[in-house]
Chain A
Amino acid sequence: MFKLLRFCRAVQNIMPVRYLREKSYKFAARRRKFFKNNILIIVENHVLLQLIRVLFLIAKSEMKLFQNMLFLAIVFSIISCANPPTEPQVSEDMSKSNVNEELIPADLKEYIKTNLQGWLLAERSDYSKVWWSFYDAGSTPYAVVTDINDDQAPDYGMILKNNDALRFVIFFKKGNSYTHWVADNFNKSFNSANKDLQNGLTIEPPGRVDVVYPEIKSLILKSNAISVMELENRRCIYYWSNGKVSAFTTM
């Protein structure tokens, strides 16, 4: 291992490598990352590297400078060929995207303001302490985003409030604008002064849902759907069927 590390240092310190590094920042970065992060891979390729080392010594003692450079180009081609980068190209800004902060686009907020005057999105602070005993404090129970109608565009489920009145609304992205659908079986209210909201939203993936109350029945969900929860209990599933939203009551 120490021999190997010494070899790595020797390779890093010789002139042609510095020359290559100055000429190609990308290549140098990849090589540094290789030495820094892939010692285990180096060990796995120990035999291969020992052979390289022998060739390196021959090259150092016997070959002229331009031949050394050619040799080193081959060596580094081998290294880069044997260990192509498998790390994903992570977009820094996107990887840090967070549902809580970026869930609702500005144009949708504008749509709500224009088309549902007086109605506002519920807030975390509207929820009761009992609610937060069931759910993660970082969650946004008043809004979810998924594609429920299989048009490959995001649809938004939201709990809106107007003073003490509550509504469940689904917004569908249509081109550059939105349409919306209001659940007619969810006319609930809460006490805004007491902050006792106890209804939130979750997403239901495709699958089979069986319930025994208020009657024994099943639902096969083919696409994603949205459930309205009442504390820990699922109150109703809203899903896409035959070109419209349908409701499957579960309590």
Chain B
Amino acid sequence: MNTKIKQSIFQLLAAILFLAACKESNTVTDVDGNVYKTVKIGSQIWMAENLRVTKYRNGNPIFHVTDTAEWRKTQDGAWCSYNNNASNTKTYGLLYNGYAISDSRNVAPEGWHVPHADEITQLVAALKGDTIAAGKMKISGMEVWLKPNTGATNESGFSALPGGYRSGGGTFHTLKSNGYWWSDTKSYEMYSWSSRLYDLFADIQRDPQYLNYGLALRCVKD
């Protein structure tokens, strides 16, 4: 085989390899075109940022509800920014009510899903137990979390942020001190003053009123 042909083959293969390797990059893109970092924890791959999509997977819009009374009474999927302030979205993502989470049109990007409650259990197990899991998931320092940000190392790469929540009554609470995320049937939460991962706040199966609460969302790869 002459040298020029070999060189051509080599260059072609190198280009293919380069493109193939880059395709495997650790990001996911939603239907709005937002790009999220991802992280592998145990055997699961999680988003490393809170979701900020405004449409379901099929392109239908999720309602943007800012009005307090409307938030209280809606039975449709809805999103908002904390305090209805768009500047909070970039850092903390969006807050979704339970109707958006359970909508069959799917809020999660293609190839991803809202975590099942048992996937939270797997996550906790991968992080060696609920008493220290949140510490391994919270971003360290006190720029985004208020002090004391107990135990925070972000050793897992989950990069949890204290995005607060919107109550069923439409009021906003606990930005910078607490973070709340949806699983398919309940919430899981972290506090600035604890290294423990809790899941006691919102349980839709036990009390459907929590469908009107606004929490953040991290998706898991299928």
Q: Does A74 contact B (CB under 8 A)?
A: yes
**Does the CB pair B14–A74 fall under 8 Å?**
yes
* A residues in contact with B191, CB < 8 Å: 146, 203, 205, 224
Q: Is A154 an interface residue (CB 8 A)?
A: yes
Least distance between A211 CB and chain B CB atoms (Å)? 17
Q: B30 within 8 Å of A by Cβ? A: no
For A223, list chain B residues within 8 Å (CB): 173-174
Q: Can you name the residue of chain A whose Cβ is closest to the Cβ of B40? A: A86
Query: What separation, in Å, do the CA atoms of A147 and B148 have in the docked complex?
Result: 11
Partner of B39, one of A51, A86, A95, A146: A86
| In the complex, B62 has a CB within 8 A of chain A | no
Q: Which of B157-171 contact A (CB under 8 A)?
A: 157, 159, 165, 167, 171
| Cross-chain contact B140 with A62 (CB below 8 angstroms) | no
Q: B138-156: which residues lie under 8 A (CB-CB) from chain A?
A: 139-142, 146-150, 152-155
* Residues 190-208 of A contacting B (Cβ, < 8 Å): 203, 205-207
From A58, A79, A103, residue with most partner B Cβ within 10 Å: A58
**Given known contacts A74-B18, A152-B175, A205-B189, A94 and B140 CB-to-CB distance under 8 angstroms:** yes
The size of the chain B interface, using a CB distance under 8 A, is 52
CB-defined interface of B8-25 with A at 8 Å, one 1/0 digit per residue?
001001100110111011
Q: Is the CB of A97 within 8 A of B198?
A: no
Q: A87-B157, A88-B154, A150-B173 are in contact. Are A51 and B13 (CB under 8 A)?
A: yes
Q: Are B201 and A205 neighbours in the complex by a CB distance under 8 Å?
A: yes
A77 CB within 8 Å of chain B? yes
Residues of B within 8 A of A222 (CB): 167, 171, 173
Chain A, interface residues (CB within 8 Å), range: 35 or more
For the A-B complex, the count of residue pairs with Cβ-Cβ distances under 8 Å equals 134
B176 and A97 contact, CB distance less than 8 A: no
| B212, CB-defined interface residue at 8 Å | no
The answer to whether A103 touches B148 (Cβ under 8 A) is yes
Q: Which residues of A contact B (CB under 8 A)?
A: 48, 51-52, 55, 58-59, 62-63, 71, 74, 77-79, 81-82, 84, 86-88, 90-91, 94-95, 97-99, 102-103, 144-147, 150, 152-154, 203, 205-207, 222-224
Q: List 30 A-B contacts (CB under 8 A).
A: A51-B13, A58-B10, A74-B14, A74-B18, A81-B25, A86-B157, A87-B157, A88-B139, A88-B153, A90-B153, A94-B149, A95-B141, A99-B150, A99-B193, A146-B192, A146-B193, A150-B172, A150-B174, A152-B175, A152-B176, A152-B177, A153-B146, A154-B146, A154-B147, A203-B193, A205-B189, A205-B201, A206-B178, A223-B174, A224-B178
Closest 4 CB pairs of A and B: A99-B148, A94-B141, A88-B154, A82-B21
